[in-house]
Chains A and B, each alone.
Chain A
Amino acid sequence: MNPYVPILVIGAIGFGFGAFSLIAAALTGPKRYNRAKAEAYECGIQPSPQAAGGGRFPVKYFLTAMLFIVFDIEIVFLYPWAVTFDKLGLFGLVEMFIFISTVFVAYAYVWRRGGLEWD
């Protein structure tokens, strides 16, 4: 059997459990409509008409996601290198030194420019 098929099995079990719970919750819970209950929760005060910033969010989060992609791709390159490390020998080590230092230059630049500061 294809080794990836059992993943679908457990995925289906998890999904089925989630869907079952949601349907069960709709059936077992009471339904008493009240306008105040459907408002956004803001600790008891009148909720602001929109979420903070009208649904926009600080650019810092976007920056973090970008940095994540840079490093995640580095990791994607590191994994096959690590698995075949014994076959590559000294050549692999030198190559990876060059690759990591390239990424490290970008990392040092981001650090120096304050891209890693949160405030």
Chain B
Amino acid sequence: MSTAELIGTDPGWISLVKGFLIFIVCVLATLMSVWGERRIVARMQQRVGPNRVGPFGLIQALADGVKLALKEDLIPKAADRIVFVMAPIISATTCFMSFAVIPLSGKVTLFGHKTVMQLTDIPVGVLYVLAITSIGVYGIVLAGWSSGSTYPLLGGLRSSAQVISYEVAMGLSLVAVFIYSGSMSTADIVAAQDKWWFCVTLFPSFVIYAISMVGETNRAPFDLAEAEGELVGGFHTEYSSLKFALFFLAEYVNIMAVSALATTLFLGGYHALPGLGFTESWLGGWFTVLWFLVKVIFFFFVFVWLRGTLPRLRYDQFMKFGWKVLIPVSLLWIMVVATLRVLSQQGASRSAVIGFTFGVALLVLAGSSLMESAKNRRAREDALGEVSIPSFPVPAMPSKSYEIRMEELND
């Protein structure tokens, strides 16, 4: 029986139980990951991190949440009240909804009912996740707009421009996965990876997805929407109390969601690491949940690692990277994958396949070296060329000969 049919036999109450389980796991994972992130970043910066509230500071995030609940819930005078209240709810709702199609485990028994830990399996699963993350952008842009204040407006616009730019690269990186699995259903994609994970066979897609998922969730080094030095808190500057907590929750659940999608599409989902397949039947199948969590936590650690390592990008560089590098590279990669697939289907000889791969690699090398030399030439011309005269008045500069004489004197 396929996963879709198995889920189809779920009675309504099992769906409800699964829904609540997913919700609880998401909230708990948020609390733990906030704590985990602060501890790991602290370690990377030679600090201790939160260690006072509970054993190892474990319930620090919960204590912060309670503190936020006891704070005054402000709505600024200039705000559009209805939209201002709706925005955090949109963010919180959509972040949970993207988990609906993620397969969290293999076949398990839940209250005497044979099923899989996946709320539903629809034929357009991955497309659904992309659609839901797009709706999540509304939460951000409406929060920024409705605050009636300068910084949130700028932060919200930046953030939405960033999310939609990287969504294109993300969407393109998934095409190769669909070509190889022949389906958009998440369960089928996991099933298609039982021999080789797609992160091995489709490595460039995996890299593009991994980069764009960081841009998609507004995380460092792409956290320009919350650049503290420029925009205070970004789109949620005016939010306080539990409304702010909802945005915070949504950010972390979104990180979990993109990590879970990456696990499903590229790291074999809930399957065990290669060579440990025998563990999948332990605990009546529930052990697979653990494998899934391990992979998601790995991605989360990478998120924290990036935050601890890399400085924030400048906004124009960031947009340039998305539009001028990620998109053409993924388009090229799609065509290469498709051609290789057709070649192997038509029974082309091994030498033809190798020849084609070699040719593409050569073309890419030639193209990149051409780009590099053009860039170098431009840089040299810029260095040599006269500085253009600005249209506004400037004080007289000391002449070149004067500087040279000064240098001689200094020597």
> A residues near B, CB below 8 A?
1, 3-7, 9-11, 13-15, 17-19, 21-22, 24-26, 28-32, 37-43, 47-48, 51-52, 55, 57, 60-61, 64-65, 67-68, 71-72, 75, 78-79, 82-86, 89-90, 93, 96-97, 100, 104, 107, 111, 116-119
| Residues on B with beta carbons closer than 8 Å to the beta carbon of A17 | 23, 92, 96
| Residues on A with beta carbons closer than 8 Å to the beta carbon of B327 | 71, 107
CB of A118 within 8 A of CB of B70, answer no
Residue with the highest number of chain B CB atoms closer than 10 Å, among A79, A104, A119: A79
Among residues of A, the one whose C-beta sits closest to the C-beta of B124 is A79
Q: Is B279 close to A, CB under 8 A?
A: no
CB of B172 within 8 A of CB of A41, answer no
Report if A39-B76 is in contact (Cβ < 8 Å); known contacts: A6-B19, A79-B184.
yes
| Residues on A with beta carbons closer than 8 Å to the beta carbon of B150 | 40, 42, 48, 51-52
The contact string, 1 if C-beta is below 8 Å from chain A, for chain B 53-96, is 00000000000000001111111111000000100110011111
CB of B153 within 8 A of CB of A55, answer yes
CB of A85 within 8 A of CB of B182, answer yes
Q: Is B44 close to A, CB under 8 A?
A: no
Q: Is B178 close to A, CB under 8 A?
A: yes
CB of A7 within 8 A of CB of B100, answer yes
Query: For the complex, would chain A's binding face be called helix, strand, loop or mixed by DSSP majority?
Result: helix
Bound together, the chains give a CA A72 to CA B95 distance in angstroms of 21
CB distance from A76 to the nearest CB of B (A): 9
Bound together, the chains give a CA A20 to CA B273 distance in angstroms of 40
| Residues on A with beta carbons closer than 8 Å to the beta carbon of B238 | 40-41
Give the interface segment out of B9-17, B369-377, B380-388.
B9-17
| Residues on A with beta carbons closer than 8 Å to the beta carbon of B331 | 100, 104
Question: Would you mind naming 13 contact pairs between A and B with Cβ atoms under 8 Å apart?
Answer: A6-B15, A10-B22, A11-B96, A14-B97, A21-B92, A21-B242, A25-B73, A29-B69, A30-B72, A71-B168, A85-B341, A86-B182, A93-B339
CB of B168 within 8 A of CB of A9, answer no
Q: Is B167 close to A, CB under 8 A?
A: yes
Bound together, the chains give a CA A31 to CA B8 distance in angstroms of 49
| Residues on B with beta carbons closer than 8 Å to the beta carbon of A83 | 178, 182-184
